[in-house]
Amino acid sequence: MVSLQLTDLGAAYRGHKVFAEISTPALQGGQLVALLGPNGAGKSTLFRRIFGLLSGPGQIRIEGATAARPIAYMPQDNGARPVLSVYESILLARMQGRRLKVLPEDHAEVERVLNLLSITHLRGHNVGDLSGGQRQMVNAAQALAQQPQILLMDEPTSALDLSRQIDLMSLLHRLTREQGLLIIVAMHDLGHALRFADAAMVVNRGRMVACGPTHGVVTANLLREVFEVEARVEPCSKGTPQLVVEGRAAQPA
């Protein structure tokens, strides 16, 4: 099983430090991890640092990887070329860093992810003609078509309607269980984190302030101190944990 461990990771843009000393235990494959934190906390930057788009201090240790490129990264906006068809854009994403020749198995993989995400009807559309939500599903397909063992997804449901949010989160959860993937999802929906994530890591003010099982991390205290809301977590009538938000936390005098 693949695992990812961060030790004392830091990142900066042109000398301006975003975060420092971010460490985690070995995050094991077979689980979905929520990456949480307020706007500007450094979630996207942490993904860029892990994926190697940014350099900086610290170590990124990956064990148990069998693929040549074990990590795939779905950014918030991947700048896919609008003139490509959905099919071509997914195939192109799959071919990154691989051989030049497209093999039958590459086409089969594109078909598989189109089916998996229920977007086969979009295959011939130009990426530039898609709605925001459709584009987000294609971005997810581009990441999945790379058959990663570790998948970093930056707010993959932010443009989706509610049923598609649940479909995508359920699918990601299922893939962790069936294929042993480690999926880390940056998200603002703490309800989704409580429902779908096995573990949560929280960044705030340039530091990792919590990392562990979701229900131990997303507590009233954390919600008040990091997200500045008065809220509590309660099971609904079916036992699923729900976030009950009362309002904004009082600002310290």
Ligand X SMILES: Nc1ncnc2c1ncn2[C@@H]1O[C@H](COP(=O)(O)OP(=O)(O)OP(=O)(O)O)[C@@H](O)[C@H]1O
Distance of CA 39 to CAs 36, 42, 135, 184, Å? 10, 8, 22, 17
Q: Which is nearer to ligand X, 43 or 192 (CB)?
A: 43
- Cα atoms found within 13 Å of the Cα of residue 155, Cβ hemisphere only: 17
Is 44 a binder of ligand X (CB under 6 A)? yes
Stretch that binds ligand X, among 38-46, 63-71, 193-201, 232-240 (CB under 6 A): 38-46
CB of residue 13 to ligand X, shortest distance in Å: 3
Is 40 a binder of ligand X (CB under 6 A)? yes
Among residues 18, 34, 71, 194, which is the contact residue for ligand X, using CB under 6 A? 18
Q: Which is nearer to ligand X, 196 or 227 (CB)?
A: 227
CB of residue 83 to ligand X, shortest distance in Å: 26
Q: Which is nearer to ligand X, 145 or 226 (CB)?
A: 226
What residues make contact with ligand X under the rule CB under 6 A? 13, 18, 37, 39-45
